[in-house]
Structures are given as structure tokens and as C-alpha cells.
Structure 1
Amino acid sequence: MTFQKASRFFNTIRYLTLRQVVFRFYYRFARVRQREYDDVRSRTWSSGWSAPRWSELSTEDGIAFTFLGVEGDVRDPADWQAGQHSKLWLYNLHYLDDLNAKDIDTTPALAETLIRNWTQANPPISGDGWEPYPLSLRVVNLVKWFARNESLAGSRLESLATQADALSQQLEYHILGNHLFANGKALVFVGAYLSGAKADEWLAKGLQILDEEVAEQFLQDGGHFELSPMYHATLLWDMCDLVNLAQCSGLPELNQRLPRWQAVISRGLAWLRSLLHPDGKIGFFNDAAFGVAPDFMHIEEYAARLGISIAPDAPDPVAFLNSATGYAVVRPKTGVKALLDLAQVGPDYQPGHAHADTLSFELSVFGQRLVVNSGTSQYGEGAERQRQRSTGAHSTVEVAGQDSSEVWAGFRVARRARPTIERFDLQDGVSYIQASHNGYRRLSSSLIHRRTWTFSEDRLEMIDQITSDQFVAVARLYIHPDVSLSQGASRFVADMGTGKKVVIELAGADQVRVVASTWHPGFGCSIANQCIEATFSGRPLTTHIHWS
């Protein structure tokens, strides 16, 4: 191992908790024991399960599936573990999300086919489907489906119990974060649905996990601590599921937690709303894409059905900081909204969904996205995944061709940028925001990137400074695919459609050019767009964006 690789490895593992280290060693040698269950019965709930649906069916026949924009056939038992598909594609196959997708109740034969095919092709306890994360999501999907179709559950409850038992033996303490949350949620669901001493154990263990993880993972401003709007939306839906479960089951252990869970959802909705563009969809910070998690309107509808609401959105233009998560929101005018990433990389011990996007921003004008980050179209450890996590794929500044945080291996981060908010003022309708980060200190101990945004009603002035003239920096503005650019020297005109235009001017650059790039609004999705690149060194770069 080279010194560089050794350093990167050390600066990755040094943030792990003792619990993660212990369980990584434990699971390397531990083996899951198969236990079979007979005469498994369900509890009697106070009301039946009912919840809104947001996802589309991935299959019409239980053979041809589409996940992450990729099609594949599953005809034989071996296809459930097929090497021609990515690990994430196979995980999606094993989730059985279709059991609770839109229109599934109009095709009950499809649901039964999915359950039967999975059970026959995946005997206990080996294969991708018996790993803890797909187990967690599938257990919840099965409980929801059985709770709606009690007459069809029958002996399938014995398989459900076996799956819950396998999950309980491999809880993801070595990963923590949203994975452990999903484990806890699954144990609560299956423990609340099945009856008996073992179900009581699963329920108690799941609640113990959730009590710890909800308190840690949802921060004071309402945001989820992994700092991905997409994962925040996923876990907010999970929280709604838990409230729904408490109301349907009537179990006192769940009902006593209702006030706490409801407050988390209310704050979480407010946070998520702040990270939406005028088009009603999330900004792309860290791992984020459309279609993976429910949209805000879906979660808001679910919460409303549960009796949970949030305060109306503020009607006046404002600038505010989600102080616990570090995302700033500026709305200088109706139809104009900027989202600024002043956030840390994420929880030190679990930055797996982080990008090197510190001090990046996104901007919508006239209700249309203009400046964007590049999004996320794939996981894994390939070159494209690495590029999408890099600083160069975001609307921020790259120095000497390096990333602000050392992202690597798909879900790893070594040395991390630490941002500092230096100014956050709103005076006479003008917003002044200044922040810096030290992510490039490995190049020079005094090297800092400082970015200053000044918003008024009709324009943005942004100043980028690098505290050294020894390095060449590149500032990038990724432009939404629906916006066309025309160029003249260091001045660009962005055609927003319907006759509306935005002028972008840069001063202080050594070179300015437009390059072809791609935007990734969904997994498996790549759309051509343009990127303005400005190279500068030794003096500030000033970017003016005028929308009046």
C-alpha cells in the first residue's frame, strides 16, 4: 500500500465509532442461524392499515423489472442473484416495494406472484435478499401487505418470522445511520404485527433502536443528519409510517411515543420545504435524485392524513439558515430562490452519501432552475460515481484539480472540508452571506476558499477568493438543461424561455469557457447540459447574475 493510500485509509477509519469497529470484526466471523417458526399468528389491531402510495410499479408480470432506469428479466431462481445487474439493482428487486406501489391492489395476482417467487427463489438464509438492509425494507412491505390482506397471509407469516429473526441477528451497528434506522423500523413493524414472546422481543429491540436513532439523526432544525434531501424525504416517510402504525395497532408502547414522532415529522416537513426549488422538488446536495424518495407533496399529504401539519410558508422574501444542518435559503423575489451549502460533510462516522460539494449553490429564477449541481445517477465504485461525487461536478470552486473533501470508493470520505459561516446578514432587503472552508489545507496549510454571496431583489453578486496565488482554481456554474446560453467574452445570456432572460457576467478570471456536461436528475438518467468554467488565480473572481 502506498503512503497516499495508507493516509487516505487512515483518515477514513479514524472517524469510525468503537461500536462500528467492534461490529465490523464481529460480523466478519459471525454466522446467521436459521430458526424456523410454526403456528405464527398476527395481533388484532384497532384499525386496518391504510396509507397513501407514491411509487410506480416496477413490473407488470413479475418477470420483467425496471429499477434505476435499467431493465432486466427475472425468470429463474438464479436471476435473483444474477451477476449482470448491480448490487443496488438486486437490492431493489429484493425490497418488494411493489407490494405497496400505486395500482398494486387492482392486480392482487401480481402481489401474490411476487411473494411466491421471492420465497421459492430465496430459501433461508443466504443471498442478497437475506442481507440486513433489503431484509428491513421487505419486512415492512410484507407487514403492510399482510395487514391489508389478512385472509391471504396464512402460512406466509412463518416466513415473515424467519426473516425478522435473521434481521435481528445482523443489525447494522457497523454502518449506523439510515441503515440502523431501517433495521429498527422493520423490527417495530413485525413486532407490532405478529403476536407472541418473540414478536415482543423484536418490538422492544426495534423501539430501543428508534429511541436512540430518532433523537440522534433528526437535528434541531428538522433536517436529517446525513444531509441529503433525498434521504431526509425517505426517513420522513418512514416516520409517518411509524405514526400510522401506532394509530392502527393501538399498542401503548407506540402510542406513548406519538408526540415525539409527530414533532419530528412537523419539523422535518418544514426543513424539506425549505430545500425545495419553485418547481416543488429537492435541490441536489450530496446523494440526491428524483424518484428514489417520495416528493414533498406526497409526504405532506401522508402527514395530513395522520393529523400532522406544518406552519404555512412565509409569504415575504427572506434569507435564513437551517442552523443545525447548515443549508441556507435565500428568496429575494417571487420566483427566485437560492439554496446554499454551508454544511459539514455529514456525521463524521457515516459520510457515505456525502459529495465534495462544500459552498456549492443552486439558483432558480422566474420559477425555473438555472444554476444546478450535477445530481446522482448511480452508486457503486466506478469512475462515473466518483466524478459525480467530486467537487468538479458541483457549482463551487475546485483548486489544483483536487476535491474539497477526499471522496473515494463510492461511499468513503477521508479528509473533510470544514466550513465556517463568517457572515449572515439581512439589511434593507439585501442578503449578505459569507463562508469559507479549509478543505484544501492538505495543499497548503493556509489555503482557504472563501465565497461571498450578496443577493438583492434583481441580482446576485458572488465573490470567490483563494488565499494563495500558488494554485489555479476553477469555479463552475452548471446550467439546467432547459436553459440555453449565448456567449460573448465573459458575458452570457441565459434564455429561460417565454422571453425571460438572465445575464451572467464574470470578472477577474484568467479564462472563461463553456463546456459540455451532463445533469443527472434520476438514477440511470443522464441529460446533456452546459457548464460555465472560470479559471482564476491570485485575485478574486466576481460573478454577477442579473435577472431583472
Structure 2
Amino acid sequence: VNLIKWLQQQPSLEPHWLDSLATQAHALSEQIEYHILANHLFVNGKALVFAGSFLNGDRADSWLSKGLKILDEEIKEQFLADGAHFELSPMYHASLLWDICDLLNLATHSELPELNIRKNQWKHQIEQGLVWLRSLQHPDGGIAFFNDSAFGIAPTLLDIEAYALELGCRAPNDMPTATIAAVHQVESGYVAINFGDQCKALLNLAQVAPDYQPGHTHADTLSFELSLFGQRVFVNSGTSQYGEDAERQRQRSTAAHNTIEVNGENSSEVWAGFRVARRARTTVGKLEQTVDTVRISGSHDGYLRLPGKNLHVREWVAMAGELQVIDSVSGTFDQAVSRLFLHPDIRITQQGNTVTITLPGGQVAVATLEGATRINVVSSTWHPEFGKSVPNQCIVAEMSTDKLTTRITW
């Protein structure tokens, strides 16, 4: 696709350039990634559409037809009713949203009838996808780190919005303006709670998905992230690499996310580089909103496979200047641990069960943990980009009973 964009700008084209492009397009058409599916298959279809639109002849027509057939099927398959991409990674969602913008751009300028008849569908998908991505943004304009996500890979929301606007897309801003208000993206399973004053919590009540290709899944069920006054405070650990080594496994593990780990086990059995065996199934309660309070709960059965047949239930209660996270773990267990990873720019001091959190701008928040037998602040790492590991700190609380209440105030 990038090669075609470049060729389009050249005043003259050498025949061997086009021969090379045709050879590559033919090779792709014979090696479609049906064995991987998901975003791989989608971008295969996009590439064939670009090649088939740019080149002429029977083979080019067949690539265009094959690419459009893939895209017609995969857009319907891969995008949920709330606009989310079904791999539930904000990074891949943003990447594929840009891909659809490219397709709409191609349709607008090529004026091929096969593309023109799909323009309205592609435009609608972009607008829906933008609404979803806005809800999963932190106030700093960056994505949340759920599943495989990192900065610097996909275009930013700001870039996608600008591109979409040039293409005539008008995505409504559905984010509530009330002081305390929440948006529940029901089909994808995420909740955004807005407190006002650039304070926002993002909650993960999603399923492991898609069920047949969960390659970018982390064992992060019921994790959350929190920004205060435009600054990220609690962060999931991110993704700095792919592959199959121990570090890849650690970054996908429950222990690398803001949730509860029972007996040192993952909530979903992530393995190899892109595999998941037994996975947590999430049950989500109803989102309750009043004038001054938002309340939602969820549970997952990922630990029912353990000897204690454990069920993790987490409830979030949001009020002005306060977020409560209430965890309970049923059944017997040797150890249940809550982790809260802090952004590297955050400074903290601990006194007993109270942790004072100081933001770079001087604002202060306080986290009080009730129901912990031991609370430690340990050194850890955050992975905001591929190839990057940044030192940070983590609050580790060992549950003394079956219930832990974490109260964050600011």
C-alpha cells in the first residue's frame, strides 16, 4: 500500500517498478493469511484492493475482486456493534481505523464503481470506530494499555480524526459532560468513567476475544487505568516486544496488570507468543448511574480451575474526587494479590495502609487499602513503546481475607 501511494506521486513510472508491484501482489494473492485471520487477513484484503485499483488487466481485476470479498466479509466479522475492533486492542483498533480511512480515500479519488458502492459503509464504520476510540482515550490523548497495546505503532486519535474529517466523516462526540458520568461499551466490554477536570477511569470487563484468534490477548481481565488532572496515574504495563520468551509471557500475565492474581496464576492461560488456553469468562453487572455516583461490577471465572474454585468479583464505585475498587475472591486460596502499577512520573510515599500519590503538577491523591495483610511498594517496569522499558513502581497488596477495598481520593 505504501509503495502504491509513493508510485502515485511520481511524474513517470519505470516498467520494472510496476512489474515488481505486480509480482508482489500476485504472491500475496496466493498466500492470504487465512491461517492467522483477524487483522492480518484484513490488511491482506486492503493491499489487494490497492493493487487491483492501481494496476490494469485481468489479474489486477481479480486482485481487486478478491480483496473486496475479503474486506466485505471481515468488516462485518471484525467490527462489533459498538464500533470496536474485535481483537479488543486499542492499538490495533486505531491501526485498522486508519486502514478504512485509506480505503475510503481510495474510493473517493479512484471513482471505481466497485469502491464507490462501498463508500457509505466504510464511512459509517470510521465514524463508529472513532466514537469507540475516543471513549478509550486517556485525557493525554493516548490509548489505554489493554491487551497488546503500545504507543508509536498505530496513528493517534488526533491523526485519525483529522484524516476522517478530510474524507467527510462526522463522528458525534457521545462522551457525557456531567461531572460524574460513564459510557459502557457493551459489546466490547469496556467502561469509561469521566470525573471532569481531565480525570478519567477506564475499566476492562471484556471477554477474551475473538474466541478463535486471541493472539493479542493479555490476562488482564477486570484491570483498570486511571488518569487524574490529565496525568496517567495507574497504568497497565504495556507491550514492548513480541516473540515467545519469558519477558513476552510476563508482559501478558495477570501480574503485569492492575487486577487480582490468585496463587500466582494467570486469569487466562496465555502461552507461547500469541496463544491462550483456558480463558476467563466475564460476567458484567448493570451500570448504575445517579446524579453523583457511578457503580458497576463484574466477575470472571478464570480461577475456577484452581483447587479453591475461586471467583474474582470486582466493583468500581465512582464519586466526585473518589474511586473505590472493591475486590472479593471466593473459595480458599494461599495468596491473592492486588497490583496497582504507577506511571513513571508519579511519586509516592507509604504509611501503613495509606499511599500518598504526588503528580508532576503537584496535585496529590491518596490510596487507602483495607483488607490487606501486607502492602509493599516495589520496583517494576512500564513498556509504553516497542523496545522500551521504563522503571516505575507498583503497589502490591496481599489480601488478608476474601475482600479488599481500595479507596482512591483526590
Structure 2 distance, partners of 1:153, 1:228, is 40
**Of residues 282, 285, 290 in structure 2, which corresponds to 1:419?**
282
Structure 1 distance, partners of 2:270, 2:14, is 45
**Of residues 91, 96, 106 in structure 2, which corresponds to 1:230?**
91
Supply the RMSD in Å over aligned alpha carbons: 1.1
Structure 1 distance, partners of 2:243, 2:130, is 30
3-state DSSP of counterpart to 1:510: strand
Q: Alpha-carbon deviation of 1:428? A: 2.6
Structure 1 distance, partners of 2:325, 2:189, is 19
Gaps in structure 1 of 5+ consecutive residues: 1-139
Residue 315 of structure 1 pairs with residue 177 of structure 2: yes
State the 4+ residue runs in structure 1 displaced beyond 2 angstroms: 152-155, 312-317
State the partner residue of 2:312. Answer: 449
State the partner residue of 2:364. Answer: 501
Structure 1 distance, partners of 2:183, 2:278, is 29
State the partner residue of 1:480. Answer: 343
Contact 1:278 1:335 in 2 (8 A): yes
CA gap 1:314/1:539 in 2 versus in 1, 3 angstroms:
closer
CA gap 1:545/1:153 in 2 versus in 1, 3 angstroms:
farther
Residue 280 of structure 1 pairs with residue 169 of structure 2: no
State the partner residue of 1:386. Answer: 249
State the partner residue of 1:408. Answer: 271
State the partner residue of 1:361. Answer: 224
Q: Alpha-carbon deviation of 1:168? A: 0.7
Q: Alpha-carbon deviation of 1:497? A: 2.6
3-state DSSP of counterpart to 2:264: coil
Contact 1:326 1:341 in 2 (8 A): yes
Structure 1 distance, partners of 2:402, 2:198, is 33
- Aligned 1:88-107 pairs, distance under 5 A: none
3-state DSSP of counterpart to 1:151: coil
Residue type of the partner of 1:261? W
**Of residues 511, 527, 530 in structure 1, which corresponds to 2:393?**
530
Residue type of the partner of 1:539? D
State the partner residue of 1:21. Answer: none
Structure 2 distance, partners of 1:469, 1:447, is 7
**TM, length-normalised to structure 1:** 0.73
- Aligned 1:260-275 pairs, distance under 5 A: 260-275=121-136
Residue 185 of structure 1 pairs with residue 65 of structure 2: no
Structure 1 distance, partners of 2:400, 2:209, is 30
Could you report, residue by residue, the CA deviation over 1:67-111 in whole angstroms, capped at 9, with x for unpaired residues?
A: xxxxxxxxxxxxxxxxxxxxxxxxxxxxxxxxxxxxxxxxxxxxx
Residue type of the partner of 2:178? D
Residue type of the partner of 1:173? Y
State the partner residue of 2:298. Answer: 435
Contact 1:473 1:535 in 2 (8 A): yes
Structure 2 distance, partners of 1:537, 1:171, is 53
Contact 2:183 2:191 in 1 (8 A): yes
Q: Alpha-carbon deviation of 1:280? A: 0.5
Q: Alpha-carbon deviation of 1:510? A: 1.0
Structure 1 or 2: more strand by fraction: 2
Q: Alpha-carbon deviation of 1:315? A: 2.6
Q: Alpha-carbon deviation of 1:146? A: 0.8
Contact 1:469 1:537 in 2 (8 A): no
CA gap 1:311/1:153 in 2 versus in 1, 3 angstroms:
farther
Contact 1:466 1:537 in 2 (8 A): no
- Aligned 1:10-409 pairs, distance under 5 A: 140-312=1-173, 313-317=175-179, 318-409=181-272
3-state DSSP of counterpart to 1:497: coil
Q: Alpha-carbon deviation of 1:427? A: 1.7
Which range is displaced more, 309-318 or 494-503? Answer: 309-318
**TM, length-normalised to structure 2:** 0.98
Structure 2 distance, partners of 1:204, 1:278, is 42
Gaps in structure 2 of 5+ consecutive residues: none
Residue type of the partner of 1:435? G
Structure 1 distance, partners of 2:176, 2:324, is 24
CA gap 1:296/1:153 in 2 versus in 1, 3 angstroms:
farther
Q: Alpha-carbon deviation of 1:153? A: 4.2
Residue type of the partner of 2:120? P
Contact 2:317 2:323 in 1 (8 A): yes
User: Percent of aligned positions with the same letter in both sequences?
Assistant: 57
Residue 492 of structure 1 pairs with residue 355 of structure 2: yes
Contact 2:259 2:338 in 1 (8 A): yes
Structure 2 distance, partners of 1:401, 1:306, is 49
Structure 1 distance, partners of 2:376, 2:246, is 24
Which range is displaced more, 497-506 or 391-400? Answer: 497-506
Which range is displaced more, 150-159 or 327-336? Answer: 150-159
Contact 1:419 1:436 in 2 (8 A): yes
Could you report, residue by residue, the CA deviation over 1:167-202 in whole angstroms, capped at 9, with x for unpaired residues?
A: 111111111100000110010000010011110000
3-state DSSP of counterpart to 2:41: helix
Contact 2:176 2:182 in 1 (8 A): no
Structure 1 distance, partners of 2:59, 2:229, is 57
3-state DSSP of counterpart to 1:222: coil
Q: Alpha-carbon deviation of 1:537? A: 4.4
Contact 1:469 1:538 in 2 (8 A): no
Q: Alpha-carbon deviation of 1:150? A: 4.6
Residue type of the partner of 1:201? S
Residue type of the partner of 1:183? N
Contact 1:370 1:479 in 2 (8 A): yes
3-state DSSP of counterpart to 2:12: helix
Q: Alpha-carbon deviation of 1:309? A: 1.9
